[in-house]
C-alpha cells in the first residue's frame, strides 16, 4: 500500500535503514533506532545488543519442512537494552527495558499440508533465552522440522530438535472480533536441561486483525514466565506468535 515513489517507503541498500511512511528502523553506531507513529500514539527507541547474534537451525539453515527450499536463514539478537520514549494521546513517557530482534529470510512458504505455527521467545532473569517454534500440520501434529534454540548467559547457544522439548497447551481464548479460538497459556519443557516454564498472556486479547493489508488474523503478544531450572525458581518475560488458527495463510502472502 505504501510504494517507493516519492520516498513513501523504501530500503537503503547501502546502510541499515528501512521505512514505511512514518515508521523507520535504522542503525546508528551500535544502536538500532526504532521510530513509529506520532504524538497521539508512537515510539522512539534505541536498542543496543548485550549479546552477539544467535544463528538458529543447523549449519546456518533453519528447516521448516521436508524438501529442498523449505527453509530459512534465521538469526536473533535475543537481549537488547532498550530506552526511549512512548507517545500516547499527546503525552510522552520515558521507558526502558529489554528487547528481542528477529531477522528471518527464506525462499518459500508453508507446504500444502502445513497450516501455521506457534512461536515462543523467552528472556529469563538469569540471562538465559529460549526460542521454540512448532509448525502445525492439518491434523494438528507438529512438523518434524520444528525446532528451537537455547541461549546461555555467555552468548553461546544450542540447537534444540523437536524431540528435545515439549509444548503443552493449558487453555484457550475465544476472540469476539474474529470468532477464532486460540491457545492461551503454555507449559514448555526442555528434556535434559531440567527446564520447565509456564507462560501466561499479560492480557488475553492480543489478536491482530489485518483487514487493510494481508487479511490474516493472528495472535501475537507478551507473556509472563515462571518456572524451574535445575531445581531453582526462575522468572522472566516472553513473546508468543500464533498463526493459522483463523484461516490458513494465502499462498500469495
CA distance 131 to 191: 15
Question: Is the same domain home to 138 and 247?
Answer: yes
Kindly report, residue by residue over 2-25, the tens digit of the pLDDT: 888 888 999 998 999 999 999 999
Q: Which helix (H) or strand (E) holds 163?
A: none
Question: Is the same domain home to 32 and 129?
Answer: no
For residue 39, what pLDDT is reported? 86
Q: For residue 61, is pLDDT > 70?
A: yes
Of 56, 87, 108, which residue sits at a domain end? Answer: 108
For residue 171, what pLDDT is reported? 97
Kindly report, residue by residue over 38-60, the tens digit of the pLDDT: 889 999 999 999 999 999 999 88
Question: Is the same domain home to 229 and 155?
Answer: yes
Single pTM value for the model: 0.92
Residue of 135, 116, 167 lying closest to 62 (CA atoms): 135
Q: For residue 251, is pLDDT > 70?
A: no
For residue 151, what pLDDT is reported? 98
Q: Do 165 and 189 meet the contact criterion of CB atoms below 8 Å apart? A: yes
Segment 155-172 mean pLDDT: 97
Residue 252 belongs to domain spanning: 110-253
Percent of the chain with pLDDT over 70: 97
Q: Is 242 helix (H, G, I), strand (E, B) or coil?
A: strand
Q: Hey, how many other C-beta atoms are within 10 angstroms of the C-beta on 81? A: 14
According to DSSP, residue 240 is labeled E
Q: Is 114 helix (H, G, I), strand (E, B) or coil?
A: strand
Segment 149-176 mean pLDDT: 97
Question: Is the same domain home to 95 and 121?
Answer: no
Of 75, 108, 141, which residue sits at a domain end? Answer: 108
Higher pLDDT, 69 or 118: 118
Residue of 241, 23, 25 lying closest to 120 (CA atoms): 241
Q: For residue 252, is pLDDT > 60?
A: no
Q: For residue 107, is pLDDT > 50?
A: yes
According to DSSP, residue 58 is labeled B
Q: For residue 149, is pLDDT > 50?
A: yes
Mean pLDDT of the chain: 93
Q: For residue 190, is pLDDT > 80?
A: yes
Q: How many domains in the chain?
A: 2
Q: For residue 1, is pLDDT > 60?
A: yes
Q: Do 119 and 252 meet the contact criterion of CB atoms below 8 Å apart? A: no
Question: Is the same domain home to 192 and 142?
Answer: yes
Segment 235-241 mean pLDDT: 98
Question: Is the same domain home to 115 and 239?
Answer: yes
For residue 248, what pLDDT is reported? 53
**205: which strand partners?**
none
Q: Environment class of residue 65 by beta-carbon count within 10 Å: exposed (0-12), middle (13-18) or buried (19+)?
A: buried
Question: Is the same domain home to 232 and 171?
Answer: yes
User: Hey, which of 76-80, 108-112, 211-215 has the most confident mean pLDDT?
Assistant: 76-80
Residue of 230, 248, 240 lying closest to 169 (CA atoms): 240
Of 49, 73, 108, which residue sits at a domain end? Answer: 108
Question: Is the same domain home to 125 and 227?
Answer: yes
Question: Is the same domain home to 97 and 115?
Answer: no
Cell numbers at residue 136, please?
502445525
For residue 229, what pLDDT is reported? 96
Instruction: Return the CATH number at 66.
Output: 2.40.370.10
Higher pLDDT, 43 or 215: 43
Segment 88-92 mean pLDDT: 95
Question: Is the same domain home to 172 and 230?
Answer: yes
Question: Is the same domain home to 22 and 55?
Answer: yes
β-strands 165-169, 172-174 pairing: unpaired
Q: Which residue has the cell 491434523?
A: 139
Question: Is the same domain home to 104 and 5?
Answer: yes
Amino acid at each position: 500500500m505504501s510504494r517507493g515513489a516519492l520516498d513513501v517507503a523504501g530500503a537503503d541498500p547501502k546502510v541499515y535503514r528501512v521505512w514505511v511512511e512514518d515508521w523507520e528502523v535504522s542503525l546508528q553506531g551500535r544502536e538500532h533506532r526504532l521510530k513509529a507513529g506520532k504524538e497521539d500514539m508512537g515510539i522512539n527507541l534505541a536498542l543496543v545488543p548485550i549479546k552477539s547474534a544467535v544463528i538458529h537451525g543447523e549449519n546456518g539453515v533453519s528447516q521448516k519442512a521436508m524438501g529442498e527450499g523449505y527453509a530459512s536463514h534465521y538469526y536473533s539478537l535475543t537481549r537488547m537494552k532498550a530506552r526511549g520514549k512512548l507517545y500516547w494521546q499527546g503525552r510522552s513517557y520515558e521507558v526502558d527495558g529489554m528487547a528481542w530482534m528477529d531477522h528471518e529470510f527464506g525462499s518459500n512458504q508453508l507446504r500444502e499440508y502445513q497450516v501455521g505455527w506457534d512461536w515462543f521467545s523467552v528472556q529469563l532473569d538469569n540471562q538465559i533465552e529460549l526460542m521454540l517454534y512448532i509448525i502445525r500440520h492439518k491434523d494438528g501434529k507438529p512438523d518434524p522440522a520444528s525446532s528451537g534454540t537455547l541461549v546461555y548467559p555467555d552468548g553461546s547457544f544450542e540447537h534444540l530438535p523437536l524431540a528435545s522439548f515439549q509444548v503443552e497447551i493449558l487453555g484457550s481464548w475465544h476472540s469476539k472480533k474474529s470468532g477464532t479460538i486460540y491457545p492461551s497459556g503454555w507449559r514448555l519443557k526442555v528434556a535434559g536441561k531440567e527446564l520447565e516454564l509456564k507462560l501466561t498472556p499479560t492480557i488475553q486479547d492480543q489478536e491482530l486483525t489485518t483487514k487493510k493489508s494481508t487479511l490474516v488474523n493472528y495472535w501475537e503478544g507478551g507473556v509472563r514466565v515462571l518456572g524451574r531450572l535445575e531445581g531453582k525458581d526462575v522468572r522472566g518475560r516472553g513473546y508468543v506468535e500464533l498463526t493459522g488458527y483463523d484461516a490458513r495463510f494465502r499462498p500469495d502472502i
